[in-house]
Amino acid sequence: MDQKAHARCLAIHPHCYALKTEGLDSSTEAPFMSEDYLKMMWRRIEFLNTVLQMGYSFVFTDADIMWLRNPFPRFYPQVDFQIACDKYYGNPEDKNNRPNGGFTYVRSNPRTILFYRFWFMSRKTYPGKHDQDVLNKIKKDRVLKKIELSMRFLDTAYFGGFCERSKDFNKVCTMHANCCYGLGTKVHDLKIVLQDWKNYTSLPPNERASASPSWRAPQNCRT
């Protein structure tokens, strides 16, 4: 979303797209819920709808999510829209779960295209709200039932975060620096997550099986 990030992407592989937002300078941090932050979040939803319209399914992941294992075996087969949670109540179909828009797996089909269009348009119904808050408003809407969208909420045992950490190192796929504000704070605590993971994976297999590790993070994010 800024020149530096695009240059870094191109240094790694050629599959990069510079996403521009009119009236927004993405080279600096946009404070949470600022005007620039809201523009960025809604531009993201609009762009992802374009990706779906082009026929591509996708995994969307925020930059503050650390991938520790391949998440694909933990996705539900043939489900249109799957999303990680800030709070998970044990049932993947329970719409009382609190979704987090930072991690989604979405299949491209007419239902998801209509859903993302409805999600984007709903920003006008709930002005001043970001995409995640609006999703919480519309997740039980009759429009989703009418278009027959299938939705699942991902278990925090596999897709954890600072809101609700995965407790089992043998299961965890991703860790998200959610419920946390500020770039420096997130980077500090994600470095701790990475070190905890390195300590765990460096154990011999027999010790790893019997170990009971725990995350030291969040630390700065807790405050």
The model's pLDDT over 155-212, given as tens digits with 9 standing for 90+, comes to: 999 999 999 999 999 999 999 999 999 999 999 999 999 999 999 999 998 888 888 8
Question: 27 or 61, which is more confident?
Answer: 61
**The whole model's pTM is what?**
0.90
**Torsion on CA atoms 160, 184, 218, 69, rounded to nearest 10:** 30
Would you state the pLDDT for residue 176? 98
| CB atoms closer than 10 angstroms to residue 72 | 9
- Better-scored residue on pLDDT, 3 or 73: 73
Of the listed ranges 23-32, 104-113, 146-155, 167-176, the least confidently predicted one is 23-32
Strand order in the sheet with 81-87: 58-61, 98-106, 81-87, 151-153
pLDDT value, residue 25: 61
Fold of the domain spanning 31-223: Spore Coat Polysaccharide Biosynthesis Protein SpsA; Chain A (3.90.550)
Positions of CATH 3.90.550 in the chain: 31-223
SS3 string, the chain, reads: CCHHHHHHHHHHCCCCCCCCCCCCCCCCCCCCCCHHHHHHHHHHHHHHHHHHHCCCCEEEECCCEEECCCCHHHCCCCCCEEEEEEECCCCCCCCCCEEEEEEEEECCCHHHHHHHHHHHHCCCCCCCCCHHHHHHHHCCCHHHHHCCCCEEECCCCCEEECCCCCCCCCCCCEEECCCCCCHHHHHHHHHHHHHHHHHHHCCCHHHHHHCCCCCCCCCHHHC
pLDDT at 29: 62
pLDDT number for residue 30: 60
* 111-148: pLDDT as tens digits: 999 999 999 999 999 988 989 999 999 999 999 999 99
Q: Which residues contact 160 (CB under 8 A, 6 or more apart)?
A: 166, 172, 174, 175, 176
Rounded to an integer, what distance in angstroms lies between the CA atom of residue 169 and that of residue 185? Answer: 23
In the chain, the amino acid numbered 81 is F
In whole angstroms, what is the distance from residue 74 CA to residue 164 CA? Answer: 18
Give the pLDDT confidence score for residue 77 in this predicted structure: 95
2 or 131: whose pLDDT is higher?
A: 131
Specify the pLDDT at position 1.
80
* Contacts with 168 (C-beta within 8 Å, 6 or more apart), sequence order: 157
- Residues 19, 3: Cα–Cα separation, whole Å: 10
Query: Is the pLDDT assigned to residue 21 strictly greater than 80?
Result: no
